[in-house]
Amino acid sequence: MKPLVLAFETSCDETAVAVVQGTQMLSSVLSSQIDLHARFGGVVPEVAARAHVEAIRPLTHRALAESGVHPADLDAVAATSGPGLVGALLVGHSFAKATAWARSLPFVSIDHMEGHLMAPRLQFEEFRPPAVVLLASGGHSQIVHVEDWGDYDVLGETIDDAAGEAFDKLARLLGLGFPGGPEIDRAAETGDPAAVAFPRALAERPYHVSFSGLKTSVATYLRKAEVAGELPELADVAASVQEAIVDVLVQKTVRALEDTGAKTLGGGGGVLANRRLRARLAEEAEARGVTVCIPRPDLCTDNAAMIGVAATHWLDRGALSDWTDTVDPGRRLSSFGAN
Ligand code: KG4
Ligand code: ZN
């Protein structure tokens, strides 16, 4: 029997708690703070930390109640220790550690991006290494070659803004709300992705991505259009912006699939909820006989079940964290080579 794990995720603006057993999600609940932050146009770290403090206890009770698991039957406790906002991370990590201590349970500290990388296991039995996984969230974008569970070769990452950050900043330029990714996704629905040819910033290194140039280009385009009194349809601009981001992510991912020869493609992080990105990746994978394991949108965005799955892997190997373990806001999945 796989261990019953109580998992916590509080790296950004979702307080999330789950109970998992192996890759089985017995419960997964969350309290989103989007409404709290929307009026500021972005996540306010202090506001996030305070909201986590308020939400975490009742959410833990809910996660346990929904799972039907009695606290006395738990085998381990896990929490995200980074990367993320330090105050936000501290709430979940401390609460989890205290819970583990009080119940004399092992504690496992998990990398948030490894959580995203493991999330497809919640939905796809066929998701197994070797695989290429595209991770794209609000703070990080990485293309990872998973040689084995726990053995990650980070082929490349963003050299400036993460893909989600780019969506959020570009949405603001377009006058859309926060978070920007889902807003652009929606606004682009009826637009023409070829309406405006925004640049595809394919950074020199083969798997690295860059989005800051796109931001400048969209800002310049909008300014010029406004001066000329020729503001185009929002749907067309949104679709064109989305296409520029998606194109870069897809091209780099395809290159990683071709170079590694991996026949499985996984994905995680909020940006993988993007409908255009999902469709394009599915198309490219199908053309190459690659199995796509990109989970449903609510498993791509932040959740605690993915932290529980990652913890199960490390528990199996006896890799427990000790009581001196603390948060690491700059935690990195692994270093990348000379690509
Ligand atoms: O992984 P995630 O939920 O939280 C972090 O770890 O950051 O990712 C959040 C990011 C935000 O930047 C949000 O705009 C983006 O994911 N996102 C999307 C979509 N849904 C969420 N981006 C594009 N299209 C979407 N449908
Ligand atoms: Zn995330």
Q: How is 95-139 classified by DSSP, letter by letter?
A: HHHHHHHHTT--EEEEEHHHHHHHGGGGT-TT--SSEEEEEE-SS
Q: Helices marked H in 107-229 — which ranges?
A: 112-118, 163-173, 180-187, 212-227
Is pTM beyond 0.85? Reply is: yes
Nearest CA owner, ligand 1 atom 22? 181
CA of 268 to the centre of ligand 2 (A): 8
12 lines ligand 1 (CB under 6 A): yes
Place of tokens 């789950």: 18
Joined tokens for residue 45: 């770290």
Nearest CA owner, ligand 1 atom 16? 270
Q: What is d(CA 335, CA 332) in angstroms, rounded to the nearest whole number? A: 7
Question: Tens digits of per-residue pLDDT, 239-282?
Answer: 999 999 999 999 999 999 999 999 999 999 999 999 999 999 99
Rounded alpha-carbon distances, angstroms, from residue 306 to 176, 234, 265, 303: 30, 35, 17, 6
Average confidence (pLDDT) over 192-200: 95
Residue 267, pLDDT score: 98
182 lines ligand 1 (CB under 6 A): yes
Residue 4, pLDDT score: 98
Quickly state the pLDDT bin for 201 (edges 50, 70, 90): confident
All residues at 6 or more sequence positions from 229 whose CB lies less than 8 Å from its CB, including other chains:
none
Q: What is d(CA 261, CA 208) in angstroms, rounded to the nearest whole number? A: 19
Place of tokens 């990109």: 294
314 lines ligand 1 (CB under 6 A): no
Burial of 183 (0-12, 13-18, 19+ CB in 10 A): buried
User: Is it the case that residue 223 has pLDDT exceeding 90?
Assistant: yes
Q: What is d(CA 124, CA 127) in angstroms, rounded to the nearest whole number? A: 5
Mean pLDDT (the chain, rounded)? 95
Q: What is d(CA 319, CA 88) in angstroms, rounded to the nearest whole number? A: 24
Say which residue, 335 or 288, is predicted with more confidence: 288
Q: Could you give phi then psi for residue 18, rounded to 5 degrees?
A: -145, 160
Nearest CA owner, ligand 1 atom 2? 270
Atom of ligand 1 nearest to the CA of 139: 7
